Structure 1
Amino acid sequence: MAVAAVIAASVGLGVVPGAPALAGTGTGGAPAPVVTRAALDPSLVAGRGANVAFSEQEAENATTNGTAIGPDRTAYTLAGEASGRKAVRLTPGQHVEFTLPKTANAITVRYSIPDAPNGGGITAPLNVTVNGGGKKVMTLTSQYAWLYNQYPFTNDPNADLLHPDWWITECACVPNATTPGPTITKPFRPTHFYDEQRLLLGRTYRAGDKVRLTVPAGSNAAWTVIDLLDSELVGAPHVRLLAANVLAFGADPLGRRDSADAIDRAIASAKRSHLKVYIPPGVYQVNRHIVVDDVTIEGAGSWYTTVKGKEVALGAPAPDGSVHTGVGFYGKDASAGGSRNVHLSGFAIEGDVRERIDTDQVNGIGGALSDSTVDGLYIHRTKVGMWFDGPMKNLKITNNVIVDQIADALNFHGGVTNSVVSNNFTRNTGDDGLAMWSEKIANAGNTFDHNTVQTPTLANGIAVYGGTDNTVSNNLVADPIREGSGIHVGSRFGAEAFAGHLWITDNTTARAGTYELNWNIGLGAIWFYALDKNIDADVQVVGNHFLDSTYNAIMLVSDWPVKDLYSITNVHFKDIRVDGTGTSVVSARVKGSASFENVDARNVGAVGVNNCGSFNFPPTGSEFSLTDLGGNDGGGTTGPWLAPWELPNTITCDDRPPVVAPPAPSPW
């Protein structure tokens, strides 16, 4: 989601260090396990984000004979895309060792290994031992990582510009090409470095046991970067005896034969018999969409039941523009009436998507699903985990893990109403983590609540593009990388206007407020963008915490060509905590107004309000006004963040103030 440049000048990226490792000592002087959430002390984000079954441990807090990388918030770097902006680099023979904080029988490893010289990825082993024994070997791959070049990217590190006629708007700091022309440094803009892999350990281990990840000598990977380890105790497989068991209809649990037709037969039988469909433990090969309507499909649990498929090229493009198909569970298209009463739970969807083709329907879940539920799925390596095209209503999406996507984790696209996305975990998306996009038809009455979104490599953690009466609440968003930030409210991409209200309440962002490489300025951890229309609905931003923002905590902005056309008004900030900004608390680059009440800030690196308005600089003051409703306390290096002399519309325009790295967030 690139955006047009406002300012052409270039500056270097100010890098703000991440939080230091949380120290502790176990028995015998050994380091105690350090459990984090989004690389933060869990007490800083209590009650926010998804309640997950696993314990997160960052590699930089573990014991290693490898090399720590980071902190670094620069795009196109391994540390920049790591959780907490730090990781550990291992060479063959080196290891990193984690101490289990709780009983566990399963782990997830987030890692990166090099691409092949000509793209396409490699595989390499990683040895896993516990207390020196029980060796298992994970086969890591970079076949689903490493994208390059301009949007929509390529797998070829040696490619010339995909669009030679495009102006390369990114600033000269990264990479060194800002003018049109075919000369670029290759590989050009490498990104999306990480993947993750899950492993059942085969037995249950106790708290205090040592999980060691070792790169064996002779590995064909010159280096292996370990970002983190998640450990958990997985329960026994779920069994449904009275059901249409897919095995009875010819499904192959060893994945040797395609099971799509068998699953279709099970669905048809279940509907006739008013039974549920059950997919027992196994790996089932499915290389197309399974169309679902008025059916319940249960797996044995996402660690036990996997539906896995190859991306398949179509002989001719489909009517919707798709040139591939692949594994996915799809409701009927809304134009055909959509699907209803669909309930999917307890299995994994493992895709095979290695390139971004926006017209392709190669998503884990898709179509239109009304009066339906999606619960407890693990979706890996599809294009978008869940993409819904409305009109549709009353969908509940809960307790899912969506990781390593080429594009979004989830998108409500046009006419999705009265639906809830709650307690889901996403990591390493190639576009917005969670999005509501009101293209052509407004989304209305939807809620994104108690979700965790980590390390989107492009765009935003959570984005709302137009719509009516929607809510974003109690979410945790961490480490957005480029061309977006933590939470985004955008009048753009042809979205319908914002109407009614938009409530953004009790969310936390961490290490957001990214550097916008096209505009060559810093964004806000939360940012409002009036590109296509005014933003003038009732927007309430209440109870949010913005931690360790690389640049600004709050931004309100338009684009230079439309700066005198559109405004942002009726936005109200209340009961906000800002703990650390590299620059300002508020950056205003648009005409309009906002009110502030009980917005407390500390460790602010520059003047509290960067008020440029719409850059006409009239003698009457900025075209953007701030209303002080009281209780706005604290500040930083330049004094109170909201000083009387800044109100209501003093011009305090400094496009690129020096970045002052704040200390790590701490209890308020």
Structure 2
Amino acid sequence: MSRSITGAMARWSGRSALRAAVAVTTLTVTVAGLGVAPAGPALADRAANGTVGTVGTTRAAAPVVTRAALDPALVAGRGADVRFAEQEAENAVTNGTVIGPDRTAYTLPSEASGRRAVRLTPGQHVEFTLPAAANAITVRYSIPDAPGGGGITAPLDVTVNGGGRRAMTLTSEYAWLYNQYPFTNDPDADLLHPDWWITECGCVPSATTPAPVITKPFRPTHFYDEQRLLLGRTYRAGDRVRLTVPAGSRAAWTVVDLLDSELVGAPRVRLVAANVLAFGADPFGRRDSAGAFDKAIAFAKRKHLKVYVPPGVYRVNRHIIVDDVTIEGAGSWYTIIKGEQVTLPSPAPDGSVHTGVGFYGRDAADGGSRNVHLSGFAIEGDVRERIDTDQVNGIGGALSDSTVDGLYIRHTKVGMWFDGPMTNLRITNNVIVDQIADALNFHGGVTNSVVSNNVIRNTGDDGLAMWSEKIANTGNTFDRNTVQTPTLANGIAVYGGTDNTVSNNLVADPVREGSALHVGSRFGAEAFAGKLSIRDNTTVRSGTFELNWKIGLGAIWFYALDRSIDADVRVTGNHFLDNTYNAIMLVSDWGVKDLYSITNVHFKDTRVDGTGTSVVSARVKGSATFENVDARNVGAVGVNNCGAFGFPSTGSEFSLTDLGGNDGGGTTGPWLAPWLLPNTITCDDRPPVVAPPAPSPW
């Protein structure tokens, strides 16, 4: 969770703009892949590497293309339809060390896609064979923090077939958070909240005598970042891309998680438009171009033109206010709008203490914005710490009857944060990575809007969220998105609201205190009402460990904290694969367990392939129905039914209804055995965890 707000103004010469657009188109084939100059010392490994696997050269007979580290056949028709091919480093050729698998928070493999990666020391390499023609790559990696925090930079050499060397400059300046929420960049910081319960000592430190010793750095997390590189020419399928850590690297180690390769098309050129170059924008990023953007927008609105942003790197250090305007870039690999985080001279009325690059609609209280269309550019921020009141998001405000398509957003606080009331927003085909908080949040009063075909990786909070604070979100759909490795909280979360849908998504590898799919009556959200449809999603390697309760969650979990959940909830056609603990969890909090319940939830046509513990864990009053829920490789008893922990003689306070067709199970027999129904108490929150085999075709 986070927040959003405001910041906002041209002349045009067709010939000069055209000449500049052509010139800059040539320029950015080079600048789009730039990194930062090396600086700063290396750091000894602060995070445990987790389970160490293969050491020395490993070879793959052919390129292994995956989706969320899975065989693509297992997720056909689910998740985003992307232009790139994902290849996991552990499947490539390397003389480094494969680390993992490990799902324990605060370790490098736990935050890697597929929970494995390759660790390189200076002089070592990992080599990928291209599965298709490509001229661009994205590398997801981790390097150490600086000893006192703040990050370092380090080189990585890229060669293809042994030649064409290009240099990437990796950075950990946007990674490595520590301590308790809202986290710090300082690895040596004392507890941010000594009055909070700490699982590690099983105590409240400020109330404990003698005071416990807390190991520093405390709870390191958010290790990874990613970087893109245009290769300068097109290479063929079968060509070998080698990533080598140079012998003189300042990084004691470099972990490579994956490589995405793709064939990027030529830059888009729009001749009849308000070209920002004509209004003084600097495509080399030496001068701030915010004023030029304002002028181009104002001119475009007067002349009923689109705004065109040619290839280049444009420095923008504040919000650009958008209303009734179309802004197009040459493509997110070519048009990069980059900003520094700027400290405000005094806090803004909304509590912000910083500003930064972002495109914002007007605040809903001021009528919001309409008819805004943003496409074809990258937004790269400079956010390194989480301050919830700060408005340092990539896209923000209220945008009705609008579209956001084909953007690449990284290093902002939240990629897109929308404060309603607002309606009819379409968010499609975007890539949002390396965020301090959420990738996208519909915050109160967002209606009839769609988020579809987006790729989300490495968020510091929920990947996609609908949060009905004060005003219900209604009639929205999250469809065919891929969400990977949220380091905190959930892949996709719905907090209250009416008649919303979560469908056809692929969610993988949540790390801590959340899971793949979450339905939560919490954070002051309005009640669930109407129908909530969660259908045809696939989750993998989810169901994380809940730090405070010290139990495992479900791949999908329902949480009645602020009020009961009693809307018509339909969970249909979902596949829950390789669940770390449970596939399904329904829970309340101990303090309100006698007040709130979860009812009217219906599971149908569901596949559960592998659980560390149970298929269903119930820790709340209420009921649910199950129809055609098939399970296999179940590690413990199929149903962990604690109810509300009253343990009455009549059975658990939570009832399960068998509507037929519920098959399969594990070593303990059928997962939904007749003797479990309707409410047999089978309460064992912490059974031994049995790691399931890898998912396979059903």
Measured against the shorter chain, the TM-score band is over 0.9
Q: Among 436, 439, 452, which residue is 1:422 paired with?
A: 452
CA distance in 1, matches of 2:612, 2:51: 10
The corresponding residue for 2:666 is 636
Task: Give CA-to-partner distance per residue, 1:272-314, whole Å, 9 cap, x none.
Answer: 0000000000000000000000000000000000000000000
1:166 aligns with 2:199: no
Q: Name the stretch that deviates more: 182-191 or 605-614.
A: 182-191
The one-letter amino acid of 1:530's match is A
The one-letter amino acid of 1:542's match is T
Q: Identify if the C-alpha distance between structure 1 residues 583 and 177 changes in structure 2 by more than 3 Å, giving closer, same or farther.
A: farther
1:65 aligns with 2:95: yes
The corresponding residue for 1:313 is 343
CA distance in 2, matches of 1:397, 1:318: 29
Task: Give CA-to-partner distance per residue, 1:70-111, whole Å, 9 cap, x none.
Answer: 000000000000000000000000000000000000000000
The corresponding residue for 1:536 is 566
2:635·2:666 contact (CA, 8 Å) conserved in 1?
A: yes
* Equivalent position SS for 2:678: coil
The corresponding residue for 1:343 is 373
Deviation at 1:518, TM superposition (A): 1.0
2:543·2:580 contact (CA, 8 Å) conserved in 1?
A: yes
Q: Among 489, 492, 500, which residue is 1:470 paired with?
A: 500
The corresponding residue for 1:442 is 472
Task: Give CA-to-partner distance per residue, 1:450-475, whole Å, 9 cap, x none.
Answer: 00000000000000000000000000
CA distance in 2, matches of 1:67, 1:100: 21
2:194·2:206 contact (CA, 8 Å) conserved in 1?
A: no
Q: Identify if the C-alpha distance between structure 1 residues 396 and 18 changes in structure 2 by more than 3 Å, giving closer, same or farther.
A: farther
Deviation at 1:164, TM superposition (A): 1.9
CA distance in 1, matches of 2:523, 2:536: 27
CA distance in 1, matches of 2:204, 2:393: 35
The one-letter amino acid of 2:148's match is N
Q: Among 385, 398, 410, which residue is 2:415 paired with?
A: 385
1:261 aligns with 2:291: yes
**4+ residue runs of structure 1 moved beyond 3 angstroms?**
15-20, 175-183
The corresponding residue for 1:228 is 258
CA distance in 1, matches of 2:449, 2:660: 36
Q: Which runs of 5+ in 2 are unaligned?
A: 2-48
The corresponding residue for 1:7 is none
Task: Give CA-to-partner distance per residue, 1:366-390, whole Å, 9 cap, x none.
Answer: 0000000000000010000000000
2:195·2:204 contact (CA, 8 Å) conserved in 1?
A: no
CA distance in 2, matches of 1:311, 1:254: 19
Deviation at 1:515, TM superposition (A): 1.0
1:171·1:177 contact (CA, 8 Å) conserved in 2?
A: no
The corresponding residue for 2:606 is 576
CA distance in 2, matches of 1:626, 1:31: 48
CA distance in 2, matches of 1:626, 1:16: 38
The corresponding residue for 1:412 is 442
Deviation at 1:16, TM superposition (A): 12
CA distance in 1, matches of 2:490, 2:127: 32
The corresponding residue for 1:500 is 530
The one-letter amino acid of 1:75's match is A
CA distance in 1, matches of 2:396, 2:224: 25
The one-letter amino acid of 2:372's match is V
1:612 aligns with 2:648: no
1:38·1:478 contact (CA, 8 Å) conserved in 2?
A: yes
1:88 aligns with 2:118: yes
Task: Give CA-to-partner distance per residue, 1:335-365, whole Å, 9 cap, x none.
Answer: 0000000000000000000000000000000
Say what the alpha-carbon RMSD is for the aligned residues: 1.8
The corresponding residue for 1:132 is 162
Q: Identify if the C-alpha distance between structure 1 residues 523 and 224 changes in structure 2 by more than 3 Å, giving closer, same or farther.
A: same
Deviation at 1:396, TM superposition (A): 0.2
Q: Identify if the C-alpha distance between structure 1 residues 17 and 88 changes in structure 2 by more than 3 Å, giving closer, same or farther.
A: closer
Q: Among 563, 574, 581, which residue is 1:551 paired with?
A: 581
The corresponding residue for 1:10 is none
The corresponding residue for 1:370 is 400
Q: Among 509, 512, 523, which residue is 1:479 paired with?
A: 509
2:62·2:129 contact (CA, 8 Å) conserved in 1?
A: yes
Q: Among 35, 40, 64, which residue is 2:65 paired with?
A: 35
The one-letter amino acid of 1:273's match is K
1:353·1:382 contact (CA, 8 Å) conserved in 2?
A: yes
The corresponding residue for 1:586 is 616
1:290 aligns with 2:320: yes
Deviation at 1:171, TM superposition (A): 4.6
* Equivalent position SS for 2:628: strand
CA distance in 1, matches of 2:163, 2:664: 53
* Equivalent position SS for 2:500: strand
CA distance in 1, matches of 2:620, 2:346: 46
Deviation at 1:166, TM superposition (A): 2.0
Deviation at 1:183, TM superposition (A): 3.2
CA distance in 2, matches of 1:611, 1:177: 33
CA distance in 2, matches of 1:474, 1:226: 29
The one-letter amino acid of 2:525's match is A
The corresponding residue for 1:329 is 359
The corresponding residue for 2:147 is 117
* Equivalent position SS for 1:296: strand
The one-letter amino acid of 2:131's match is P
Deviation at 1:218, TM superposition (A): 1.4
2:354·2:392 contact (CA, 8 Å) conserved in 1?
A: yes
* Equivalent position SS for 1:33: coil
CA distance in 2, matches of 1:144, 1:518: 27
| Structure-2-length-normalised TM-score | 0.91
The corresponding residue for 1:455 is 485
The one-letter amino acid of 2:70's match is L
The one-letter amino acid of 1:119's match is G
Task: Give the count of matched residue pairs.
Answer: 646
* Residue correspondence of structure 1 range 557-568 to structure 2 within 5 A: 557-568=587-598
1:54 aligns with 2:84: yes
* Equivalent position SS for 1:251: coil
Task: Give CA-to-partner distance per residue, 1:592-611, whole Å, 9 cap, x none.
Answer: 00000000000000000000
Q: Report % sequence identity.
A: 86
CA distance in 1, matches of 2:692, 2:108: 22
Q: Identify if the C-alpha distance between structure 1 residues 222 and 17 changes in structure 2 by more than 3 Å, giving closer, same or farther.
A: closer
1:18·1:85 contact (CA, 8 Å) conserved in 2?
A: no
2:66·2:85 contact (CA, 8 Å) conserved in 1?
A: yes
Task: Give CA-to-partner distance per residue, 1:228-264, whole Å, 9 cap, x none.
Answer: 0000000000111000000000000000000000000
CA distance in 2, matches of 1:201, 1:612: 56
| Structure-1-length-normalised TM-score | 0.95
Q: Which runs of 5+ in 1 are unaligned?
A: 2-14
Task: Give CA-to-partner distance per residue, 1:38-70, whole Å, 9 cap, x none.
Answer: 000000000000001100000000000000100
CA distance in 2, matches of 1:475, 1:425: 10
Deviation at 1:165, TM superposition (A): 2.0
Q: Among 218, 232, 247, which residue is 2:248 paired with?
A: 218
* Equivalent position SS for 1:80: helix
1:171·1:178 contact (CA, 8 Å) conserved in 2?
A: no
Q: Identify if the C-alpha distance between structure 1 residues 257 and 188 changes in structure 2 by more than 3 Å, giving closer, same or farther.
A: same
Deviation at 1:172, TM superposition (A): 5.5
Deviation at 1:163, TM superposition (A): 1.6
Q: Identify if the C-alpha distance between structure 1 residues 549 and 164 changes in structure 2 by more than 3 Å, giving closer, same or farther.
A: same
CA distance in 1, matches of 2:582, 2:645: 19
Q: Identify if the C-alpha distance between structure 1 residues 478 and 19 changes in structure 2 by more than 3 Å, giving closer, same or farther.
A: farther
1:16·1:662 contact (CA, 8 Å) conserved in 2?
A: no
* Equivalent position SS for 1:84: helix
Q: Identify if the C-alpha distance between structure 1 residues 374 and 255 changes in structure 2 by more than 3 Å, giving closer, same or farther.
A: same
* Equivalent position SS for 1:238: coil
The one-letter amino acid of 1:385's match is G
* Equivalent position SS for 1:272: helix
The one-letter amino acid of 1:309's match is G
1:507·1:544 contact (CA, 8 Å) conserved in 2?
A: yes
1:281 aligns with 2:311: yes
CA distance in 1, matches of 2:508, 2:51: 14
1:16·1:661 contact (CA, 8 Å) conserved in 2?
A: no
CA distance in 2, matches of 1:408, 1:105: 30
